[in-house]
Amino acid sequence: MGIMQDYIEEAERDLLHTYNRYQVVFDHGDGVRLYDLNGKDYLDFVSGIGVFALGYGNKEYNEAVKSQVDKILHTSNYYYNVPAIEAAKAIKKVSGMDRVFFTNSGAEAVEGALKTARKYAYLKDGKTDHEIIAMNHSFHGRTFGALSVTGTPKYREAFQPMIGNIKFAELNDIESVKALVNEKTCAILFETVQGEGGIHPAEEAFIKEVRKICDENDILMMLDEIQCGMGRTGEYYAWQRFGIKPDVMTSAKALGCGVPVGAFMMTEKVGQNSLVAGDHGTTYGGNPLGGAAIVEVFRQFEERKITDHVKEVGQYLYEKLEEVARAHDDIKDHRGVGLLQGLEFDHPVAEIINKALDKGLVLINAGTDIIRFIPPLVIEKSDVDEMIDILNSCL
């Protein structure tokens, strides 16, 4: 491997070992392909974990970011900047939400959403004992607040105590939610499609019933769209398929398509009755560089009709993965929507993923026994065919 192996060995000496990385150093990308330091090309079905929705080497995106670099990168939130204002306008247009707070990441967006819920409830009764209901098998991030509502105990155990008053229900089991709701409940939080937890979409009946519970009890319905949002399901946000709207939502990953940005949004009612000056802040969030990236992402999504494309190619991917699932007895289930899908096996999938990487296909897991398919949103049916061929050869 030569120079690539040298870099890998240096990384193992220098970087904190919190990732078991695949043995490849990617150097550049073009479209839906990545290239390592040796020039080998790979078909990318990970997109940086759902980030690079518009593909690599996107000239218009790159020019928008470069242009902003030459103007100004940072001013702080004590001042206004045009890219952030335009970015907020773009998010409001497609989401129907009313107020936006920009962050640097998805985890930070979740932190802001949690603070919003607590402050909203505090302003109603002056108490600080309010409870948040989250879901088992969820994943919301690695910071303490986000980790506290992540419903996978192995992520939390070594870092206890978490923030308090968090309860866990089961996604798509409305009775498990109702059993936890009481006068202290201030928010119900879940991913519209669970990503890390195994590609589990929330069902329409469940979402609508949660919305009803929240409406009847003045509880905030908070949806995490960090991975499943930004067109990945064929809608800008996955909840838009169901004719409801959350009170608070989070977004990140493909929101910036490579520039690290996130956001949490809320309705006007929540905005007027929660966080005020001094309650929350960020040094880098909403800086001009991030704003310029967001504006260009939304421009291309609209111009290229990305959501329509995802519906079409996502359906094709679903059909092809169904064929794979039927052909292999060790595949227990296939689920997902749009370009966020998964195959669940009756054994660990690490060996399959490593074989695929050797053959020039980049895949990722979701748990030890699930292969997750989360490619750039600009893939074509021919890319799906190529992926299926390589996958079958590995199986």
Q: Read off the CATH number of the domain in which 369 is found.
A: 3.90.1150.10
Q: Is residue 204 pLDDT above 80, yes or no?
A: yes
Burial grade of 117 (CB within 10 A; 0-12, 13-18, 19 or more): buried
Higher pLDDT, 209 or 2: 209
* Same domain, yes or no: 39 and 20: yes
* Same domain, yes or no: 150 and 249: yes
Of the three residues 251, 276, 303, the one that is the final residue of a domain is 303
- Matching residue, tokens 């490849």: 24
* Same domain, yes or no: 37 and 154: no
Query: Is 65 inside any structural domain?
Result: no
Q: Tell me: the pLDDT tens digits for 305-362?
A: 999 999 999 999 999 999 999 999 999 999 999 999 999 999 999 999 999 999 999 9
Q: What is the pLDDT of residue 230?
A: 98
Query: Is 26 inside any structural domain?
Result: yes
Q: Which residues of 219-249 are buried (b: 16+ CB within 10 A; e: fewer)?
A: bbbbbbbbbbbbbbbbbbbbbbbbebbbbbb
- φ, ψ (nearest 5 deg) of residue 25: -115, 110
* Same domain, yes or no: 273 and 159: yes
Mean pLDDT of the 79-84 span: 98
Nearest to 194 by CA among 376, 377, 374: 374
User: Going by C-beta distance under 8 Å and a sequence separation of 6 or more, which residues neighbour residue 336?
Assistant: 193, 199, 201, 318, 342, 373
Confidence of residue 117 (pLDDT cuts 50, 70, 90): very high
Helices (H), the chain: 3-14, 47-50, 59-71, 82-95, 106-125, 144-148, 153-156, 174-178, 204-217, 268-272, 288-303, 306-327, 350-358, 381-394
Query: Is 240 inside any structural domain?
Result: yes
For the chain, what percent of residues have pLDDT higher than 90? 99
Of the three residues 238, 271, 303, the one that is the final residue of a domain is 303
Q: Is residue 244 pLDDT above 70, yes or no?
A: yes
Query: How is residue 46 written in tokens?
Result: 């990970």
Q: Is residue 1 pLDDT above 60, yes or no?
A: no
Query: Is 216 inside any structural domain?
Result: yes
* Same domain, yes or no: 341 and 209: no
User: From CA 244, how far away is CA 55, in angstroms rounded?
Assistant: 30
Of the three residues 277, 303, 329, the one that is the final residue of a domain is 303
* Same domain, yes or no: 250 and 367: no
What is the maximum span of the chain, computed from C-alpha positions, in angstroms?
A: 64
Residue 123's DSSP bridge partners are none
Tally Cβ neighbours within 10 Å of residue 89. 12
Query: Is 67 inside any structural domain?
Result: no
Confidence of residue 208 (pLDDT cuts 50, 70, 90): very high
- φ, ψ (nearest 5 deg) of residue 41: -105, 150
Query: Is 63 inside any structural domain?
Result: no
Nearest to 191 by CA among 163, 164, 210: 210
Mean pLDDT of the 62-71 span: 98
Which uninterrupted H or E stretch holds 341? strand 340-345
Angle of helix 59-71 relative to helix 288-303, nearest 10 degrees, comes to: 150
* Same domain, yes or no: 7 and 81: no
Query: How is residue 50 written in tokens?
Result: 């759902």
- φ, ψ (nearest 5 deg) of residue 47: 50, 40
Q: Is residue 2 pLDDT above 90, yes or no?
A: no
Supply the range of the domain harboring residue 7.
3-58+305-394
User: Going by C-beta distance under 8 Å and a sequence separation of 6 or more, which residues neighbour residue 76?
Assistant: 283
Looking at every residue in the chain, the average pLDDT score rounds to 97
User: Going by C-beta distance under 8 Å and a sequence separation of 6 or more, which residues neighbour residue 70?
Assistant: none
* Same domain, yes or no: 126 and 180: yes
Q: Tell me: the pLDDT tens digits for 122-168?
A: 999 999 999 999 999 999 999 999 999 999 999 999 999 999 999 99
Confidence of residue 300 (pLDDT cuts 50, 70, 90): very high
- φ, ψ (nearest 5 deg) of residue 93: -60, -45
User: Based on the structure, what is the number of domains in the chain?
Assistant: 2
Helices (H), 234-305: 268-272, 288-303
Q: How many residues does the chain have?
A: 395
* Same domain, yes or no: 286 and 139: yes
Residue type, 158: A
Confidence of residue 82 (pLDDT cuts 50, 70, 90): very high
Query: Is 360 inside any structural domain?
Result: yes
* Same domain, yes or no: 18 and 82: no
* Same domain, yes or no: 279 and 218: yes
* Same domain, yes or no: 119 and 160: yes
Residue 370's DSSP bridge partners are 344
For residue 264, the domain's CATH number is 3.40.640.10
